[in-house]
Structure 1
């Protein structure tokens, strides 16, 4: 037909993938995908809170949204991946907050202020974070070894990115300087130690962010503590 291309687009219309992606149809399709993804996340967290992580199946999560399990796996590799996606959002927010700290701020000080501010935002439901989801993850990490293990492994996979962030602020090359690697490894351990202390209620803190802040401040102050056997000289 005159005035039409062979694939049904008006003659002269640019049909390259980049332009098609900007079309109203593509925009609606992306919005629908985002709504489906968010509905699956809502369903998963609701069921995790009601039934526990192990007792919840992918089929139940999908059924609650009226989609198939196959559709679920288009968005997530596993039900663990739903939880890790929330942690990815936290990590992204932390990186942005860390980068926004004053350039002359020491690396641990900047990290403490950035990470504690993000965790408190999660606890308080600020900046788009859902406090109920954050609380659910905290509970599942206490009650489910599978969730705790997945979270630990996921954090370790971010070691390279953490090392890069530390090196960038320190102004050193991580290929030749071991300090960014040490800092990244220690900080990763601090996060998990903070969770263990918070779960055991050893410190009696009401908020995870308070425990994290205390541990990072201890690291910031320096952890090369003197041995108990060292005798202090008495005043003359």
Structure 2
């Protein structure tokens, strides 16, 4: 029974990933306003109903990869040593998820970032995802060293701001370097005192 369940879950994950990739590809080729759910479903080789079983909208399909990354970030943060300082743990968790600059994951991240900047509806959805991520980060860093001086909410907000700035700069420059290099540099600026 477990192998059947495992097979079903892998098949669902593959379908979800195929729909996400089709949404990204079509949006880059045609522009977000010229892509329909039906076109995405056709490109992924699934029915419109199957699309709806996995995603509520094309924006959801476009941002799926980012949502996967944020879940992985929070889980990785939770697995960091509990005595590791909050800021160090946040940057280290991000570093373990950073893929090579030329990897498909990083290229997809750049595409999503550029699309969100150009399309307000996608940016709004992305910001909504970040609010949920901030809550999860606050919970995951609570009680770590440093949180007795600086609230976990401040760490989470500062980290997400550093990540947003790094991602935007990296995407706008069409960088061939690693996103983590940008995040490390900007994170170091955040770690300095303001005065």
CA contact (8 A) 2:24 2:111 kept: yes
Corresponding residue of 1:154: 129
Task: Tell me if structure 2 keeps the 8 A contact 1:98–1:114.
Answer: yes
Distance 1:122 1:74, change over 3 A: farther
1:59 maps onto 2:38 in alignment: yes
Which structure has more RCO (C-alpha within 8 Å, separation ≥ 6)? 2
Give distance in 2, aligned partners of 1:219 and 1:79: 35
State whether residues 63 and 126 of structure 2, in contact with CA within 8 Å, keep that contact through their aligned partners in structure 1.
Answer: yes
- Show CA shifts across 1:69-89 (max 9, x none): 222110011111123321122
Provide the C-alpha distance between the structure 2 equivalents of 1:28 and 1:205, rounded to a whole number of angstroms: 37
Report the count of equivalent residues: 194
- Give the TM-score taking structure 1 as reference length: 0.68
> Runs of 5+ in structure 2 lacking a partner?
none
Instruction: Show the counterpart of 2:157.
Output: 185
For 1:151 and 1:142, how far apart are their aligned partners in 2? 10
> Rg larger in 1 or in 2?
1
Q: Aligned to 1:111, which of 87, 90, 99?
A: 90
TM-score, structure 2 as length reference? 0.80
Greater share of residues in helix: 2
In the alignment, is residue 210 of structure 1 matched against residue 184 of structure 2?
A: no
Match of 2:51 in 1: 72
